[in-house]
Amino acid sequence: MTLRLADPVTELPGVGPKLASRLGDGLGIRTVHDLLTHYPRRFQDAGDVLDLSEVAEGQPATLIGEVLDWSTRRTTTKGKGRRLDIAEARVRQASGAVFSATFFNQNWRANQLGPGTVAAFSGKVKRFRSDLQLASPDVQRLGRVSAGLDAASAADRLRHQRLLAVYPAVDGLPSFKLAELVEAALDALPRLPDWLPEDLLDRQDLIDLDAAVRGIHLPPDPATRDAARRRLVFDELLSLQLGLQWRRARLEADTLGLDNAPVDRGRAQAFLDALPFPPTGAQIRAFDGIGQDLARLRPMHRLLQGDVGSGKTVVAVWAMLNAVDRRRQAALMVPTEVLADQHYRTLTQLLAPLGVNLLDGIRVELLTSSSTTTQRRRILGELLSGDVDLVVGTHALLEEGVRFADLGVIVIDEQHRFGVSQRVQLKDKAVEAAAVGAKGGDGGPAVLPDVLVMTATPIPRSLALTLYGDLDVTVLDELPPGREPITTQLITPDQAHRRDALYGFIREEAAAGRGAYVVCPFVEESKALPGTAAVEEHKRLSTEVFPDLDVELVHGRMGSDAKDTAMARFRSGDAQVLVSTTVIEVGVDVPHATVMVIEDAERFGISQLHQLRGRVGRGGGRSFCVLFAGWNAELTDDAKERLEAIAGSTDGFELAETDLRIRGAGQLFGQKQSGLPDLRIADLTEDLEVVGVTRDLARDVVASDPDLRSPDHATLRAEVLARYEGGLDAFAALETG
């Protein structure tokens, strides 16, 4: 009987129910396929496999042999030195030569490598008394004599196999055990059929699948391993991109879009004409790209990426006014109330030249969970009747009972802060809105509004292409002119005097009409988490440090009236210092604020720090960001790396790349949150080029064959379906509109 990839691991020799459940529970390995996609974490170079007779003292070597026995002893110490446990194994090679391997404070080795174990020991050989000895060698367990392995055949095999795969392991399932199973599986498997056509492999210079699967686990040399990895990365990314594009094609097959094409002499144009500044080149490019999407009779799915301060709001307003020009409505949805308030304010200011909430002007409303019942009832009525043109809101916009007369454009700001379920709800809302607008005929395709998703968290290109493989991306890669540079400084507790200097500086800035933010990680003090709390810091700053200034406080647990008042006092300049939590992280725009102080900065991630810093340098003069770090918690290496990255760069894209490198893609967005399928071998920081190649390839395939029905694509179709169990629903989370 031949083994198949879909077989359970119990089909492998020596795998009983107990081992099978350890594989399943510990590593999620249930089938042979799971086992073979449990890729090596790294490779250990076995060096030259030698017999003792060939070894020169002081030379690095790998010696293979069978463990005969163990002895342990403990050093006697003089003075205060610590005592050492020494465990020593005697190991016999195939030639009969015996050497010893010693381990310090690792008595567990005697259990790992009991008598009868065959293992490879790598290190430098030393002569100790008359013995040859390896001190603290790297060890790779190869198997047991009782299982039919002997030192001679093991050495033989390793001579051809310099690179030993080291697998991610768990308790009770060491790497060598996994290696044994993988090898058994590869022995029993027939040649694996390829799902990619040969001409593609030729064109992309890829090795075939069978060679790749064998080569990643048992590479004879580094070149083979690298070629194997390249092929498997290609497969992983291609099937992901195919899945995304295929899904997109399917969605589009069932939907129609609206014609929201810009009109001559409309309000969108009037809005641009009335702006107090000329749009940047990047903004103009965004108008072009979005304008084309709006005109198409397919729903727009566009991601607008732009660093803090790049001017996304203007682009959003322009996009929404195109709906108004077509006598439709538009909605702007944001993640926080503070941001909703501010966007509402900005919108009404920006639209003032066109007339806002006047007879014949543009009707703009704000809907959040702190809208009163009366307000809410009125706004809901006017959304349904079509009287309201633009609505700004939080996820209150998603609540039951919110219905539009005819929703043309939806803009979602900072979309990654919304959960998956909210994104799905938003899409349902869109469908519902279209239905209420009676645009879709009975049984006909749904008519969906155009969706623009904005984010100020620059996403590295590789991640954007992967996460948003089905979205078009516009990047605002140019800041408006006249931006003030921001100087960033890190202050650790050994420089305590600089804290006083900073407070002196804030006082000077305040005297000159400028403002400072002080951001704290916590609202209130707690015993569990040591750190600066906004409430206490506000008290300390207002009574002890700046008794002569007006110091306000904003945090998420305050009532919205109190929050509004505090924000308004800071915005108007009546208050010079604003102590807050990260509620001010996104979008808050107070141009005369020039100092951003972040307490316990080590608690924040790179993108958060970058966002917070983006609150200053918005036109009020030379700006400063001061990061206090290590005052309440020890600085880890990761934290240091993050803080140094922030201090060293103000380029959001560069920082995002660094963040991706430090944290890995899954964590950057949160696996669940992003819906990013688990990548087993591809690394988005390393494999950027392959992301691009596979995306283009997938696009071409799906463009020519939207449902992958052609016989030429049968294996592609099968592979995508097999990889993403549950079919394309695996991609549901990726959907944004």
Q: What sign for the dihedral angle of Cα 188, 190, 196, 202?
A: positive
Q: Does 128 bind ligand ADP (CB under 6 A)?
A: no
Per-residue b/e over 717-735, b at no fewer than 16 CB within 10 Å?
bebbbebbeeebebbebbb
The stretch among 20-28, 195-203, 273-281, 570-578 that binds ligand ADP (CB under 6 A) is 273-281
What string marks each residue from 439 to 478 as x (binds ligand ADP by CB under 6 A) or -?
-----------------x----------------------
Q: Say whether residue 283 binds ligand ADP (CB under 6 A).
A: yes
Q: What is the secondary structure of 223-256 as a DSSP string?
A: HHHHHHHHHHHHHHHHHHHHHHHHHHHHHHHTEE
CB-nearest residue to ligand ADP = 311
Are 583 and 554 a contacting pair, CB within 8 Å?
yes
Identify what 309 binds: Mg ion, ligand ADP, none; CB under 5 to 8 Å per kind: ligand ADP
Q: Smallest gap, in angstroms, from Cβ of residue 659 to Mg ion? A: 20
Query: Which residues are 310's β-sheet partners?
Result: none
Q: Which does 277 bind (CB under 5 to 8 A by kind): Mg ion, ligand ADP, none?
A: ligand ADP
Q: Are strands 450-455 and 446-447 parallel, antiparallel or unpaired?
A: unpaired
Report the distance separating Cα 466 and Cα 677, nearest Å.
10
Q: Which stretch binds Mg ion (CB under 5 A): 109-117, 217-225, 308-316, 576-584?
A: 308-316
352 binds ligand ADP (CB under 6 A): no
If the CB atoms of residues 143 and 652 are measured against ligand ADP, the closer one turns out to be: 652
What, of Mg ion, ligand ADP, none, does residue 735 touch, CB below 5 to 8 Å by kind? none
Instruction: Write down the least CB distance from residue 729 to Mg ion, Å.
Output: 32
Judged by beta carbon distances under 5 to 8 A according to partner kind, the member of Mg ion, ligand ADP, none in contact with residue 306 is ligand ADP
Strand partners, 405: none
Please provide the distance, in angstroms rounded to a whole number, between the alpha carbons at the two ends of the chain. Answer: 49
Contact 201, 207 (CB under 8 A): yes
Q: 367 near 402, Cβ under 8 Å?
A: yes
| CB-based contacts of 442-445 (< 8 A; 24+ apart in sequence) | 444/256, 445/253, 445/254, 445/255, 445/256
Among 60, 279, 440, 573, binds ligand ADP (CB under 6 A): 279
Which of ligand ADP, Mg ion, none does 280 bind, CB closer than 5 to 8 A by kind? Answer: ligand ADP
Tell me 526's DSSP state: -
Of 185 and 308, which CB lies nearer to ligand ADP in the complex structure?
308
- Residues 142 and 46: their CA atoms lie apart, in Å, by 12
> Nearest distance from residue 393's CB to ligand ADP, in Å?
17
- Binding segment for Mg ion (CB under 5 A), chosen from 177-185, 360-368, 585-593, 666-674, is 585-593
Instruction: Quickly count: other Cβ atoms within 10 Å of residue 129's Cβ.
Output: 5
Ramachandran assignment for 56, one of left (phi > 0), alpha (psi -120 to 50 degrees), beta (any other): beta
Asked if 313 touches ligand ADP (CB under 6 A), the answer is yes
Which residue is it, tokens 């249930």? 30
Please count the residues of this chain forming the interface with ligand ADP, following the rule CB under 6 A. 16
CA torsion, ordered 553, 555, 559, 564, to nearest 10 deg? 60
Consecutive H or E run containing 90: strand 85-92
**Residue 334 C-beta: closest distance to Mg ion, Å:** 9
If you ran DSSP here, which 8-state letter would residue 603 be given? G
* Identity of the amino acid at 693: V
**Interacting partner of 674 out of ligand ADP, Mg ion, none (Cβ under 5 to 8 A depending on kind):** none
What is the spatial distance between Cα 314 and Cα 282, in angstroms, rounded to a whole number?
Answer: 12
Closer to ligand ADP by Cβ: residue 219 or 652: 652
- Under the criterion CB under 5 A, does residue 480 sit at the interface with Mg ion? no
Please name which of 428, 420, 419 lies closest in space to residue 449, comparing C-alpha atoms: 428
For Mg ion, the closer of residues 312 and 613 by Cβ is 312
**Is residue 308 near ligand ADP by the rule CB under 6 A?**
yes
Site for ligand ADP in 532-591 (CB under 6 A): 587, 589
For position 617 contacting ligand ADP by CB under 6 A, the verdict is no
Q: Which of 587, 620, 652, 737 binds Mg ion (CB under 5 A)?
A: 587
Site string for Mg ion, 312-351 (x = CB under 5 A): x---------------------------------------
Interacting span for ligand ADP (CB under 6 A) from 4-12, 303-311, 390-398, 559-567: 303-311
Q: 183 or 478, CB closer to ligand ADP? A: 478
Closest CB 577 distance from Mg ion, rounded Å = 23
Minimum Å gap between C-beta 313 and ligand ADP is 3
Give the pair of three-digit tokens for residue 81.
Answer: 């030195």
SS3 per-residue string spanning 380-402: HHHHHHCCCCEEEECHHHHCCCC
Q: Does residue 320 touch ligand ADP according to CB under 6 A?
A: no
Q: Are 571 and 590 in contact (CB under 8 A)?
A: yes
Whole-angstrom distance, CA of residue 166 vs CA of residue 697: 33
Beta strand 98-104 with 131-135 is: parallel
309 binds ligand ADP (CB under 6 A): yes
**Residue with smaller CB distance to ligand ADP, 314 or 397:** 314
For residues 389 and 589, which CB has a smaller minimum distance to ligand ADP in the complex? 589
**Contacts to ligand ADP by CB under 6 A:** 277, 279-280, 283, 306, 308-314, 456, 480, 587, 589
**Contacts to Mg ion by CB under 5 A:** 312, 587
